[in-house]
Structures are given as C-alpha cells and as structure tokens.
Amino acid sequence: MPELPEIEVSRLVLAPGLEGDTLLSCRVLPPGFYRNPSARELKRRAGRAIRRLSRRGKYLVIEMEGSPPLILHLGMSGRILLDGHGSHERFEIRTARHRVSICDPRRFGRVLSRLPKLGIEPIDPGFSARTLGNILRGRKAPVKALLMDQRLVAGLGNIYATEALFEAGIRPGRAGGRLSSKEIARLALSCARVLRRAIRLGGSTLVDEAFLDPLGRPGRAGGAVAVYGRAIGRCGHPLRLTRRLIAGRRATYCPACQR
C-alpha cells in the first residue's frame, strides 16, 4: 500500500509539470465505479489553474485557483501515471499539457474534495518524543495500531510502522501507553528516519505491492527494508509474526532485537 513516502515521491515527480497548468477535465473512467465527488462537483475545477501540489499524510492534494482542491488517495493498490496509459485506470485528469490517471486494480482508492481529520506527521518539524508521548499516553491498544491510526499519526502504514518499531527495538503488540520515555524517544526518531530515508530512495517497491512513480520507475527503499515481509531480519535473526492481528494483520518482529 502506498504510504507517505510513495505519495511524496509521486508529488515530487508531478509538481513541476502540473503547477501552473490549467485543468481541463477530470472524470471517472468506465466501468465507472470509483469513490469520488459527483460529476457536477468535479466540473467545478474545469478551466481553473492548478496552484500547487501538496501532500498531507497519504493524500495528494491538487490545490486549485478558485475552486476546492482535488484530493487523491491511492488506497491499497493505486498508483498515479503521468502521460501514459496503464491497466485498471479508474480516474483521469486532463490538463492543457498533460494527462494524469489513477491505476487502481483493487479500487480502494478515492477522490475527495476535502481532507479528513489527520494527526501530525512524523516528518513534521513539530513532531518530537513529547508529541508522541502525548499521543500514546494511557492507551491500551498495540503501539503498531496506534502508529497506523491516521487520526493520531499521519503517513505510516504497515511497511513503515513495522520498520520504525524494529529500529526502535519495540515489539508491535506492546500497549502504547506502557512504553518507557526512552522507548518513546527512540520511536519518535525512528518513525521520522524510516520515512525520510524512503523518500530519499524513491519509495518502496515490493514484490506484492508494486509501487511505481508517475513515470513508471520503481523505488529503491524496498531493498532497504529490515524486517517487513522478510523471514530473516537484516539483523540476521529469524523473524516472528504476532499471534494476534494488529490493524487487521499479523505483525512481523524480531524476538531478539525487539522488546
């Protein structure tokens, strides 16, 4: 699933071409099932200039001159394509100079006019051990589920939450409110570090969740993954899965490196 780094990488590729361009049309492509604003609502952007591309959490925000923004969420399997044609295209944006489409085989993505309420991002300059401590305080839920709750912390999904917990040496099933202040400090740093590193490496392209940037290029962060989706960790130890489901899946961890 595309997480904060993959959206940021997509934004960086799209911004130079789209900023200042004029949006001509946007529409849901046949067979037509995609969660989106109504056709009438989408028409409000036609003929307007694209002011800026920004990002919040896992959402790409196309800011418009004189109309509400066009906000894209790629769901489980979506990717954005610039000036190309792909399979499973669900949504199309035409501008004066470009064509942008969303390819989304599993159709969990959506197009919005307004952002939902989102928590702070780990790469926000205001995110610190203290911020994270306030978020986790008193909570009994597994720390991994809390990190992936977009209303609390925005941008981390399964891959980067798994990696950040490994780097901080914390097991994913621990109750969020039971972490020591030292552990919280390590976790705040590792959350920011894994996201920044992945942006720098162009996002994660893993076998089962094949992210490609809008020009069709794979990212290199998948090769830097230490535990996610692996049987043996980068640390050299055999990895384990939690018995219980955390955010719908069993979580990978290293029993030797994580406490």
Nearer to Zn ion, 212 or 257 (CB): 257
Pick the binder of Zn ion from 96, 210, 232, 256 (CB under 5 A): 256
Nearer to Zn ion, 8 or 167 (CB): 167
Per CB under 5 A, 254 contacts Zn ion: yes
Question: Is 30 designated active site?
Answer: no
Which of 97, 130, 137, 249 is catalytic? The answer is 249
Q: How far apart are CA 147 and CA 114, in angstroms?
A: 23
**3, 8, 167, 209: the active-site residue:** 3
Within positions 209 to 248, which residues make up the interface with Zn ion, using CB under 5 A?
Answer: 233, 235, 237
Residue 96 interacts with Zn ion (CB under 5 A): yes or no: no
> Between the CA of residue 95 and those of 24, 78, 82, 213, what are the distances in Å?
5, 21, 11, 19
- Contact call for residues 220 and 201 (beta carbons, < 8 A): yes
- Which lies closer to Zn ion via its Cβ, residue 58 or residue 171? 171
In angstroms, give the least distance from the CB of 170 to Zn ion: 13
In whole angstroms, how close is the CB of 156 to Zn ion at the nearest point? 21
Pairing of strands 79-82, 59-64: unpaired
CA distance 8 to 145: 23
Would residue 196 show up in a list of annotated catalytic residues for this protein?
no
Determine which one of 11, 45, 55, 58 is catalytic. 58
Provide the minimum distance between the beta carbon of 168 and Zn ion in the complex, in angstroms, as a whole number. Answer: 13
Task: Kindly state whether residue 257 participates in binding Zn ion, applying the rule CB under 5 A.
Answer: yes
Distance in Å, CB of 203 to Zn ion, minimum: 25
Query: Does 238 participate in catalysis according to the annotation?
Result: no
- Tell whether residue 172 is a contact of Zn ion (CB under 5 A): no
CA 136 to CA 150: how far, in whole Å? 13
The reply to whether 60 sits near Zn ion by the rule CB under 5 A is no
Strand 249-253 with 240-246, pairing: antiparallel
Burial (CB count within 10 angstroms: exposed 0-12, middle 13-18, buried 19+), residue 201: middle
Q: Which is nearer to Zn ion, 120 or 254 (CB)?
A: 254
Q: Please state the closest distance from residue 239 (CB atom) to Zn ion, in A.
A: 8
**Amino acid (1-letter code) at residue 101:** S
Residue 167 designated active-site: no
Q: What angle do CA 226, 248, 202 make, to 5 degrees?
A: 40
CA distance 54 to 116: 15
Q: Which is nearer to Zn ion, 90 or 174 (CB)?
A: 174
* Count of residues touching Zn ion (by CB under 5 A): 6
DSSP 21: P
Rounded to the nearest angstrom, the gap between the alpha carbon of residue 148 and the centroid of all alpha carbons in its chain is: 10
Q: Hey, which residues are catalytic here?
A: 2-3, 58, 249
Given the rule CB under 5 A, which residues bind Zn ion? 233, 235, 237, 254, 256-257
